[in-house]
Amino acid sequence: MNGKKIAVIGSGGWGCAVAVMLCSNGNDVTLWSWKEEERSAIEKNGENKEFLPGVKISGKIHLTCDISCVCDKDLIVLAVPSRAVRSTAKAMADYVKKGTPLVILSKGLEDKTLKTMSEIAEEEIKNCIPVALSGPSHAEEVARKVPTAIVAACKVSDTAKFVQEIFMCEYFRVYTNDDILGVELGGALKNVIALCAGITDGIGFGDNTKAALMTRGIKEIARLGTKMGANESTFYGLAGIGDLIVTCTSMHSRNRRAGILIGEGKTLKQALDEVHMVVEGVYSSHAAYELSKKMNVEMPIIHKAYEVLFENLPPKDAVISLMKRDKKDEIV
Ligand SMILES: NC(=O)C1=CN([C@@H]2O[C@H](COP(=O)(O)OP(=O)(O)OC[C@H]3O[C@@H](n4cnc5c(N)ncnc54)[C@H](O)[C@@H]3O)[C@@H](O)[C@H]2O)C=CC1
Ligand SMILES: O=C(CO)COP(=O)(O)O
């Protein structure tokens, strides 16, 4: 399916990569930037040199900073950092046509409310149908047309299928899923585990440590998710273990790269400044820590991540204290 009018809201790395793909799939794409400097730099350079250098933004893509651009679209894609989702959704709310699919690319949880991105969107934009598009998909690789598979999750199955039709192409395979809560929790929480994986790499621990973190990490995520009502199988799919694998192992991952710097001894601020792009796991670790307490779910890795990031626990001590926890049965 092509020839649709689509607004991509957010012109960072992922917004740009998705806008380019949707345009080359034959759609009429408008790309919205938060700041005029970002819009004009993209216009001048034909690329976003700051967030996705080397990827040509086609001249067919309309560039704007006017949020009312969403008003006549068949589909809206939201690609701002999670901390900007509420303000951006609020700003566009009056312009969204009733029943418009809103594809959410942002991966995170709201700090104070502990809400998912689709819950925020539903609160702020009464008329939209939220779809979470999530899975192992680094912008740098999608922009190079590297074969990628991902999940479109929506409570309305026809809308998930519509999104699948629009995004699918020979290098981008989309599966549908009705478990939007599980897909969003998987996407937000794997970032915290990826930070931890980076930390163990930065300390100089090995592949054994990382494999253990990934395996026990997805277990923690699934334990919380199922208690909140998500399907366990979602966490063993693309938006769960799939995204966890890519984020814990890829040098494209900003979360992993920030973790490596922290494991090497840098402060959180130094790590965030050096990575420069959005490192969602930092914010999600706080929300995940609060959620685990609220839901009374044991999440030892998430707790240690929080203590390292916000309570100055030395990274090596965090790993050792995880190793020295009480003896357990694996299945529990
Ligand atoms: N980059 C990737 O490969 C992927 C990113 N994502 C998710 O997509 C979301 C966006 O990430 P990226 O595009 O990578 O970001 P980025 O780090 O490449 O760029 C940040 C973007 O956010 C904008 N921004 C900053 N503050 C803002 C505000 N208050 N309001 C609106 N916009 C603001 C900046 O102008 C810039 O366009 C994140 O939640 C991320 O987890 C998901 C999958 C892949
Ligand atoms: O979610 C992502 C890939 O699927 C992006 O991960 P990072 O934010 O760690 O780069």
107 marked as binding residue:
yes
Using DSSP bridges, classify how beta strands 75-78 and 101-104 pair: parallel, antiparallel or unpaired. Answer: parallel
Contact 302, 285 (CB under 8 A): yes
What is the rounded distance in angstroms from the CA atom of residue 17 to the CA atom of residue 188?
20
Q: Whose CA is nearest to atom 1 of ligand 1?
A: 14
What structural domains and CATH numbers belong to the chain? 5-178 (3.40.50.720), 181-323 (1.10.1040.10)
Alpha helices, DSSP H, located in 156-242: 157-167, 180-203, 207-228, 232-235
Q: Annotate 248-285 with b (16+ C-beta within 10 A) or e (fewer).
A: bbbeebbbbbbbbbbbbebebeebbeebebbbbbbbbb
* Dihedral over alpha carbons 86, 90, 72, 104 (to 10 degrees): 10
Nearest CA to ligand 1 atom 44: 138
Q: Is residue 292 within 8 Å of 219, Cβ to Cβ? A: no
CA distance 11 to 234: 29
Mutate to test the pocket of ligand 2, among 254, 260, 262 (most ligand atoms within 8 A of CB): 254
Number of helices (H), then strands (E), in the chain: 15, 8
Mutate to test the pocket of ligand 1, among 39, 52, 246, 278 (most ligand atoms within 8 A of CB): 278
Q: Which residue has the tokens 């034959």?
A: 26
Residue 2's pLDDT is what? 75
133 Cβ neighbours under 8 A, 6+ residues apart: 77, 103, 104, 105, 150, 151, 152, 153, 163, 167, 174
CA nearest ligand 1 atom 16, residue: 12
CA of 14 to the centre of ligand 1 (A): 7
Ligand 2, CB within 6 Å, residue ranges: 107, 136-138, 191, 194, 243, 246-247, 252-255, 280
Cα of 329 to ligand 2 centre, how many Å?
Answer: 32
pLDDT at 306: 97
Q: Whose CA is nearest to atom 34 of ligand 1?
A: 12
Based on the residue annotation, tell me whether 115 is a catalytic residue of this protein: no
pLDDT of residue 127: 85
pLDDT at residue 1 in the model? 66
In a structure prediction context, what are the per-residue pLDDT tens digits for the chain, which is 332 residues long?
679 999 999 999 999 999 999 999 999 999 999 999 999 999 999 999 999 999 999 999 999 999 999 999 999 999 999 999 999 999 999 999 999 999 999 999 999 999 999 999 999 999 899 999 999 999 999 999 999 999 999 999 999 999 999 999 999 999 999 999 999 999 999 999 999 999 999 999 999 999 999 999 999 999 999 999 999 999 999 999 999 999 999 999 999 999 999 999 999 999 999 999 999 999 999 999 999 999 999 999 999 999 999 999 999 999 999 999 999 999 86
Given a contact cutoff of 8 angstroms between Cβ atoms, the answer to whether 134 and 186 are in contact is yes
